[in-house]
Amino acid sequence: MLGNVAVLVYDGVAPFELGVVCEAFGVDRRDDGVPLVDFAVCAPRPGQVATDGGFSIVVEHGLDRLEQADLVCVPAMPRAPGLPEGVAEALQRVVARGARVLSVCSGAFTLGEAGLLDGRACTTHWRHTTELAERFPLAQVVPEVLYVDAGQVVTGAGTAAGIDACLHLWRQEHGSRVAGAVARRMVVAPQRDGGQAQFIARAVPDCEAETLGPLLTWIVEHLDEELGVDALARRALMSPRTFARRFREETGTTPHSWVTHQRVAAAEELLERSDLSVEQVAARVGFGNAATLRQQFSRVRGISPQQYRRQFAC
């Protein structure tokens, strides 16, 4: 379980990405039902560490603190080749003993220098994916996603996508209720659809889309109804073709994908907090029958509804 988290920093660390992992794992949210995490920031040498924001931080712990962690986070770091003494070996030991590592943004280059991306799918900020692939040819760079979970090695894309990766880990370890509590305290969406490509044109695919916001809110409140493109286009007073194009422009994904993810999220909550059968859950969230729910839930979450309920039911 996610009980002990350490953050690795050295000179040149980016303050925002460091703040992301500190906010995600280092804040006591037990009053919201979130398990407390034993949290620490570590450096190759305890003491002053310069950030790339023009100020320094004081770090109490050395690399030995990484040995206790279930998860080691690596925020955005300088991309230049080479690592401070002992860092590569420390990260390799973390993975060798079965713990996990999470990089945010250019922190993926630190993992690459340590040899932890070889043979693994990974990502980084969209501006640096080509460089990552060239520097580490054995890595399987996936440029279009918000994060990649390759088991022990999780890599987040640019800047705020680190929040998505952190919430993914909370959801994976403790379920959507806990992840949702963390997200609410951070004032972010519990889960975003789409990938990095959406940020070149527009932002978060939530219910605050520029012109489709009211429709998206209506969809979430009527998941058990017919929500095909034709039906939604009629409600939006658009042709199906125009609606599909506008939807992708404003959310970064297709209507079908967005609706499916909303239905899966609603199913998660019912599986966690109700005694409804899988068939009843499927009807409530608009999948129609248990077989369709199982298929879509397993595709999106990687486990069956029954397995999810056994793991996360209140």
According to the model, what pLDDT value does residue 201 have? Answer: 27
According to the model, what pLDDT value does residue 194 have? Answer: 53
Handedness of CA 192, 193, 197, 199 (dihedral sign): negative
According to the model, what pLDDT value does residue 314 have? Answer: 61
According to the model, what pLDDT value does residue 27 have? Answer: 96
CB 130 within 8 A of CB 108: no
According to the model, what pLDDT value does residue 205 have? Answer: 36
Model's pTM, two decimal places?
0.68
3-state secondary structure of 126: coil
Using alpha carbons, list the distances in angstroms from residue 46 to 42, 63, 262: 7, 9, 45
CB 59 within 8 A of CB 22: no
Closest CA to 271 of 241, 298, 309: 309
CB 255 within 8 A of CB 229: yes
According to the model, what pLDDT value does residue 192 have? Answer: 66
- Cα gap 184→195, rounded to integer Å: 21
Running along the chain, 314 residues long, what does each successive block of 10 average in pLDDT? 94 97 96 96 98 97 97 97 97 97 98 98 94 97 90 91 93 89 85 51 40 89 94 94 91 91 91 92 95 92 85 71
According to the model, what pLDDT value does residue 175 have? Answer: 87
Query: What's the number of CA atoms in the CB half-sphere (13 Å) around residue 156?
Result: 27
Q: Are strands 47-50 and 100-104 parallel, antiparallel or unpaired?
A: unpaired
Using alpha carbons, list the distances in angstroms from residue 99 to 90, 95, 120, 289: 12, 5, 16, 38
According to the model, what pLDDT value does residue 249 have? Answer: 87
